[in-house]
Amino acid sequence: MIEIEPSLKIRKNIILIGFMGSGKTSVGGKLARARHYHFLDTDQILEEEFGCSIREYFEQKGEEEFRRQETNLMRRLSLSLRGCVLSTGGGLPLREENRSLLRETGVVIYLRASEETTMERLMGDTTRPLLAGEDLSEKVHRLLGERRPIYEKAAHYTLDTDKKSFYEIIKEIQTVVMF
């Protein structure tokens, strides 16, 4: 008899994880429209709850408090989410508790992009506190190196997005999500 690991008794949500600039929000919105699902984005929900931008929140309260708020949000979402595409902040899967919550809440898809593509997309960005200041390429290189294995561990499925159109990415997601 096949033993089904608890995390495979999945709720019908699709969750997108990945590094900053991997296209989670853009893909998520389009995917939700294609499936007639609701679309939610953890960063957008938190900004509404904070009443300020994530960059301002980092400045005022610091990263550790932001991470606490992300976990608090994931706990709430894990109880209530149904029929949603959820796009997540790039650092959310770093906490082990969050990874468990993600996998309990839906099919977790890692949108993987190469370092070159990531750099191109993030060049000139001023909204992301972790990339502020000098030497963007050093930061992206280091953070990507640290996080890639974590994203891979958190995900049910890893999807390479380089040189793929939104249409191709969404089609691939539709083929791996069996509901």
Binding region for ligand S3P (CB under 6 A) = 20, 24, 43, 54, 89-91, 128-130
Residue 62 backbone dihedrals phi, psi, to 5 degrees: 90, 165
For ligand S3P, which is the closer residue by CB, 65 or 179? 65
Beta-carbon contacts of residue 7 (< 8 Å; ≥ 6 apart): 100, 103, 104, 156
For ligand S3P, which is the closer residue by CB, 12 or 141? 141
CB of 149 to ligand S3P, least distance (A): 15
Residue 163 backbone dihedrals phi, psi, to 5 degrees: 60, 15
Strand order in the sheet with 107-112: 38-41, 84-87, 14-17, 107-112, 157-160
d(CA 151, CA 168): 21
For ligand S3P, which is the closer residue by CB, 8 or 59? 59
For ligand S3P, which is the closer residue by CB, 12 or 95? 95
Residue whose tokens read 């608890």: 6
For ligand S3P, which is the closer residue by CB, 12 or 29? 29
State the helix-helix crossing angle for 136-154 and 115-122, rounded to 10 degrees: 120
CB of 176 to ligand S3P, least distance (A): 22
